[in-house]
Amino acid sequence: MKSGRPRECVNDKPPRLSVLRLGHRRERDKRITSHLGLTARAFGADEVILAGEEDPGALETWNSVTSRFGGDFECRYEAKPLSWLRRFVQDSDDVEAGTLVHLTMYGEPLREAILEIDTSKPIIVVVGGTKVPGEVFRLATHNISIGNQPHSEVAALAVFLDSFVGPLD
């Protein structure tokens, strides 16, 4: 059983969909980061990548839920997220560039931007914790706003994934 739900996609195989939690602060963000990973898993992402302060507890939580409820969900820590994102969005000899979707209050409206996302290549959804570096805005294929009012990054991720992946079974 896949951890989320099936995506409608023009390809035979949907693209790999990962979520990057940028700027995690171990003590301050413990619950919100945990909930981001659980939301990513429940709403159809294949992987969550933790960046910021290393936090084995978050990874243990996500692995525990996956082992108890099943699925192919993966999680890991990335020590150098900006370097990783630069490589992700660049073509190389062995890997095609991926699509970077950054969820922010300062972006294109969701309903317009979601139709433009290329589903033929891997997708990374970046969700910030602390102030997001300007480079992320520049690297992003799409800077997408989920409304223009302050709200939780968990809510933003859930709305985006529900709109992009499709309704829950």
Tens of each residue's pLDDT in the chain, 169 residues: 333 433 444 445 678 999 999 999 998 998 999 999 999 999 999 999 999 999 999 999 999 999 999 999 999 999 999 999 999 999 766 667 899 999 998 899 999 999 999 999 999 999 998 889 999 999 999 999 998 888 899 999 999 999 999 877 7
Question: Mind listing the pLDDT tens digit for each residue in 38-63?
Answer: 999 999 999 999 999 999 999 999 99
Q: Record the pTM.
A: 0.89
**What whole-number distance in Å separates Cα of residue 70 and Cα of residue 84?**
28
- Domain-located, residue 98: yes
Is the residue at 41 inside a domain? yes
The verdict on residue 11 lying in a domain is: no
- Between CA 70 and CA 2 the distance in angstroms is 8
Q: Tell me, yes or no, whether 132 lies in a domain.
A: yes
Total structural domains in the chain?
Answer: 1
DSSP annotation of 132: P
Cβ atoms < 10 Å from Cβ of 103: 23
CATH number at residue 78: 3.40.1280.10
The verdict on residue 71 lying in a domain is yes
Helices (H), 96-167: 110-113, 134-139, 153-165
| Position 52 in a domain | yes
Domain residues for the domain of 129 are 34-165
Domain contains 86: yes
**Would you tell me how many other CB atoms lie within 10 Å of the CB of residue 81?**
22
* Rounded distance between C-alpha atoms, residue 46 and residue 56, angstroms: 19
37-69 CB burial, b ≥16 within 10 A, e <16: bbbbbbbbbbbbbbbbbebeebbebbeebbeee
